[in-house]
A = this chain, B = another copy of it.
């Protein structure tokens, strides 16, 4: 991702924090993380986030999805003795559709990013509106996509080790370098 793309996405994310009434420190605003998963299609496939805390035991983040932006399918594996990451998504603003294993929705609200259809394999749909939440247990495939207005989502979880996430799309690189 080039720096201009990063800065534009960061400023856009700040507007969503503002709409959701979530207050960040100046340092958090400066350091908003923008993930394009190394696919260079940020508008369609990406995630903006602030990590409030990530200790050995607990992690809390705020996630921003732009309108119809998709966080691609992945799961959180166990690492040695440590069970995989458990995460609860709570929608704070907007709308997000979450897809998990289970009975496939026959008429899903979302389509995967064009050309990547084969990397979206779980189709049980959960719609989250503000105040609604859902918990994903370890080693469970999931992906999510915002509705037409975008979404602001709180994530409450065990420790995040993002570089260990397993994405269904083998081309994905969760922690690509930022080009200066």
Instruction: List the interface of chain A (C-beta within 8 A of B).
Output: 20-25, 28, 52-53, 55, 57-60, 83, 86, 88, 90, 92, 130-133, 135, 154, 156-158
> Pick the contact of A58 from B22, B25, B92, B158 — CB < 8 Å?
B158
Complex-state Cα separation, A11 to B33, whole angstroms: 37
For residue A90, give the distance in angstroms from its CB to the closest CB of chain B. 6
- Copies in the assembly, this chain: 2
Complex-state Cα separation, A83 to B55, whole angstroms: 14
Given contacts A52-B156, A158-B57, contact A131 B23 (CB under 8 A): yes
Residues of B within 8 A of A58 (CB): 58, 86, 88, 156-158
Q: A21-B22, A25-B132 are in contact. List 19 more A-B contacts (CB 8 A).
A: A20-B21, A22-B92, A23-B92, A23-B130, A52-B88, A52-B133, A52-B156, A53-B135, A53-B156, A55-B86, A55-B135, A57-B57, A57-B86, A57-B158, A58-B88, A58-B156, A58-B157, A60-B60, A60-B88
